[in-house]
Chains A and B, each alone.
Chain A
Amino acid sequence: MRQFRFARSYTRPLSLAAVVLAVLAVAGVWPETVGGQSREETLVIARDIDDVVTNDPSRTFEWTSQIPTHAAYDTLLQIEPPDIAQIRPKLATKWEISPEGTTYTFQLRPGVKFSSGNPLTAQDVKFSLLRLKNMKDNPSFLVGDIKEIVVVSDTTVKIVLTAPNASFLGILAGGVTTGVIDSKTVMAHGGTDAENAKDVDKATEWLNQNSVGSGPYVLRGWTKNVELVMERNPHYWGPRPKFARIVFRHVKSGSTQREMLERGDVDIAMDFDPDLAAKVKGNPKIKVVEGLTSNQIYMGLNVSPEISKELSDKRVRQAIAYAIDYDGIIQGLMRGAADRPPGMIPLGLLGVDKAMNRKQDVNKAKALLKEAGYPGGFTVRFTYYEGLLGTPAEAIAAKIQSDLAAVGIRATLDRKERTVAWSEYRSSKSVMILSGWSPDYLDPDPYADAYYKAGGVVPKRVNWENSRATELTLMARKEQDPKKRAAFYRDIQQIGLDEVPHIMLLQPKNFVGVAPAIKGYVIHPIWFVGLEHLSR
């Protein structure tokens, strides 16, 4: 074959390629023309926000949604760490509880305006809570106990419950969806608080893109899986919010978030895990903020003999609980980034005392197994799934498998897709499962209800019923005296430690990467961060 001379024959395609490459190169190294002022006044947060499905405060229940909902809609009361057992005033400055514990009267802060400019009155409080109840969506259960709401005056509102509920103040303080919305504006967009709101309310579409609360920031737009934008509320009653604009940018992976933070493209990276936090230690461009969450990682043990003959014996379940190397999991697998309460109520809440914690005792575990008639151990299916509130589920499951092997129990690891594992667990068919829980609001009652009361979310899944624990839960719910309440919760946890329908493994810490210039970042167990505290 003849030789071709390159220069003559191929100049056309090659020069075309060269031009294109040059254009690409120029665009690639184009100098950044940042409007300095707007970048300075804009806070950019990188976070995995694909869980957001709605911004209607009567419908949201997703993790990310707690942040903008909290920032846009003030609640009557609030809770701020570190003391998460103390209820503080917010829109309500004073409150009174009737002796029988069913009537709550709130005095509202005078002169508060919504972002629309409308004044906030008792009528708006009534509208907001009733709409939340009647929308019959995920967060509606929070206010399921409300019988009626009476507007006494513009600044006084009375809420009557169907039965005494000592956790009601906790609901109003920690449930961000109980925030107050501007009834006039919402009604103008088709909203209603009527009993059939779930069928006739038309305001969700508008509330997905806008907000009308009295909080420091206003929702300005949301594009699913892309971004959520908030702006300063000019009518805010508190100190002027520091940022003109806050952008939540959807970035799924923590390590990408870290790169963007280090490059200065974002100010906050919310999805750090213990490994990443350890990696950036000493990095001058990243400040790591940590704080204890109220999330829980636990094991559920099915007590039904139809599901597992072995696990239906209390002694076997106790043996499993004694076999686990709790400190090894927290120190080794979590790099110390977790703590552990004794039972299923998180640390920091009423009646929780680490002195009650169970300690690993291999000999006791072996003795219990022998007593139960399984000196040689047995085989059990252990289900787990990835995506367990940011913890290394696979490693934890494998560690427990080896701990159990040390006492003769052969756990076969059963990894399932999260959705599949959940379905099986919810239909009460999992044998032994590694699972998690994140808080609805900060009070022991929802935990007692979900883990200890007969028919509660978890007891139902593990086929466990205990009449004393149920009775204590109901008594604690009615009790107004915190000391007596705390004693009830201690007894409840003790029953759980003895019966072992579930084993508390750890309460993880949360890590956030923050640019050194950003001040005021404090991790909140419910709404992750109060945007009003942040400044540059």
Chain B
Amino acid sequence: MRLLRYLGRRLALAVVSLFGIVLVAFLVAHMVPADPLAIVLSDQATKDPSIRAAYVKRWGLDRSLPEQFGHYLLNVLRGDLGESFTTRRPVLRDLAQHLPATIELSLAALAFSVVIGVPLGIFAAVRHNRVPDHAARVISLVGAASPIFWTGLLALYLFYYRLNWFPGPGRLEPYLQYPLPVTGFILLDSLLAGNAETFRSGLRHLLLPGMVLGWFIMGIIARTTRAALLEILSADYVRTARSKGLGERTVVGSHALRNALIPVVTVTGLAFASVMSGAVLTETVFAWPGIGRYAVTASTHLDYPAILGVTILTAVIYVIVNLVVDTLYGVLDPRIRVE
């Protein structure tokens, strides 16, 4: 019951912040001194007043700004994010089409960063201030400090173009046709369609961009794991555990690691934000048809409804991730279950 009330409060706060985000995004988008019709219509078509009028009416551009905003908010509440200027389709449908690609990529990146980052952090903590620790530090720092488009281009050049260890950009081999979109996730859809070649191709194409994007946050996760574990290993209860004669494996694996994971979970949650923003660049480099690239195209075409749609979606994901992280704390540490 207390948990429900807690969640309710969090949700109410989330609604307020969402409103603020929509308002700011709306105002910023409309402050750009450009005419969206200049993008949508051809030069010849703008000369014809009837074609112009048809477009202005279609997108409600003849109304005042507050009116447009009110209208937009009402529509959002009804689940209608408007129609994109550039794709001429409902924004919601565009987002639904592009989101699975980004989620697939983000999950691959998160999996990579956790699977490599946590052991790397443990390794560094255990071999604290010795060669492995320094090596881990270098790997982490380079990953976190390199601009992601640069690592992406470099990885493609080296591992695809030069060495051919990994496939090229895109989600599939260029000649393969996409499986019928049921979930939008290539790995799932190809399995549903029973197409092993497409599944394999999809998996292989996920590796390189996943690692590039994952490396970026792996460093943060490894550093956090190391710091947390070091602190905990010097705690009294760890000494107690050792003095009971427990093996190192049990001490670190069962006693220390679980508590050390709390900050790691926080950081992983926050890292998800980096993954989403990193996805914009990764998707551009790897020709990945996800939300990031959709956002880039939308912003260069001054596609207000699409830009706002992406903003709202990102904000919603943030809110959800934060809720999940907060809930996970409770699972990991009963003391912070509900204040």
Contact of B160 (CB < 8 Å), options: A263, A419, A457? A263
B28 at the interface (CB under 8 A from A): no
Assess the A252–B284 pair: CB atoms within 8 A.
yes
With A4-B126, A266-B174 already in contact, the answer to whether A260 and B169 are too (CB < 8 A) is yes
Assess the B35–A423 pair: CB atoms within 8 A.
yes
A225 at the interface (CB under 8 A from B): yes
Q: Report A308-343 CB contacts with B as 1/0, cut-off 8 Å.
A: 000000000000000000000000000000000000
Q: Report B298-333 CB contacts with A as 1/0, cut-off 8 Å.
A: 001110000000000000000000000000000000
Assess the B43–A450 pair: CB atoms within 8 A.
yes
Contact of A44 (CB < 8 Å), options: B119, B174, B248? B174
B278 to chain A minimum Cβ distance, whole angstroms, is 17
A356 at the interface (CB under 8 A from B): no
Assess the B289–A223 pair: CB atoms within 8 A.
yes
Assess the B248–A28 pair: CB atoms within 8 A.
no
Of the four ranges (under 10, 10 to 19, 20 to 34, 35 or more), the interface on chain B belongs to: 35 or more
Assess the B175–A256 pair: CB atoms within 8 A.
no
Assess the B302–A9 pair: CB atoms within 8 A.
no
A50 to chain B minimum Cβ distance, whole angstroms, is 5
Assess the B234–A1 pair: CB atoms within 8 A.
yes
B197 at the interface (CB under 8 A from A): yes
Task: State in angstroms the CA–CA spacing of A142 and B44 once bound together.
Answer: 9
Assess the B160–A259 pair: CB atoms within 8 A.
yes
B147-205 contacts to A, CB under 8 A, are 156-157, 160-161, 164-170, 173-175, 177-178, 197, 200, 203-204
A246-265 contacts to B, CB under 8 A, are 247, 249-253, 256, 259-260, 262-263, 265
Closest to A29 in B: B165
A residues near B170, Cβ cutoff 8 Å = 249, 251
Q: Report A221-255 CB contacts with B as 1/0, cut-off 8 Å.
A: 10111110100000000000000000101111100
A418 at the interface (CB under 8 A from B): yes
Q: Give the total of A residues in contact with B, Cβ under 8 Å.
A: 76
B residues near A221, Cβ cutoff 8 Å = 177
Closest to A225 in B: B289
B286-305 contacts to A, CB under 8 A, are 287, 289, 293-294, 297, 300-302
Contact of B34 (CB < 8 Å), options: A38, A140, A419? A419
Assess the B252–A457 pair: CB atoms within 8 A.
no
Closest to A32 in B: B173
* Centre residue among B118, B170, B175, B233 by max chain A CB count within 10 A: B175
Assess the B38–A426 pair: CB atoms within 8 A.
yes
Assess the A260–B168 pair: CB atoms within 8 A.
yes
With A10-B119, A61-B42, A419-B301 already in contact, the answer to whether A30 and B249 are too (CB < 8 A) is no
With A6-B127, A13-B118, A141-B48 already in contact, the answer to whether A259 and B161 are too (CB < 8 A) is yes
Closest to A5 in B: B248
Assess the B174–A247 pair: CB atoms within 8 A.
yes
B residues near A424, Cβ cutoff 8 Å = 33
With A10-B122, A198-B54, A420-B34 already in contact, the answer to whether A265 and B87 are too (CB < 8 A) is no
Task: State in angstroms the CA–CA spacing of A266 and B242 once bound together.
Answer: 61
Q: Report B107-123 CB contacts with A as 1/0, cut-off 8 Å.
A: 00000000110110011
B residues near A187, Cβ cutoff 8 Å = none
B residues near A262, Cβ cutoff 8 Å = 161
Assess the A9–B252 pair: CB atoms within 8 A.
yes
Report 23 cross-chain contacts, Cβ distance below 8 Å, ordered by A residue.
A1-B233, A2-B242, A8-B247, A9-B251, A10-B126, A17-B119, A35-B197, A53-B88, A136-B48, A137-B45, A138-B41, A138-B44, A140-B45, A198-B54, A229-B177, A247-B177, A251-B287, A259-B157, A262-B161, A265-B168, A265-B175, A419-B32, A424-B33
Interface residues of B (CB under 8 A from A): 32-36, 38-39, 41-48, 50-51, 54, 86-89, 94, 97-98, 115-116, 118-119, 122-123, 126-128, 156-157, 160-161, 164-170, 173-175, 177-178, 197, 200, 203-204, 207, 233-234, 242, 247-249, 251-253, 284-285, 287, 289, 293-294, 297, 300-302
In order of increasing CB-CB distance, the 9 nearest A-B pairs are: A423-B34, A419-B34, A9-B248, A423-B35, A259-B161, A13-B119, A422-B38, A419-B302, A226-B289
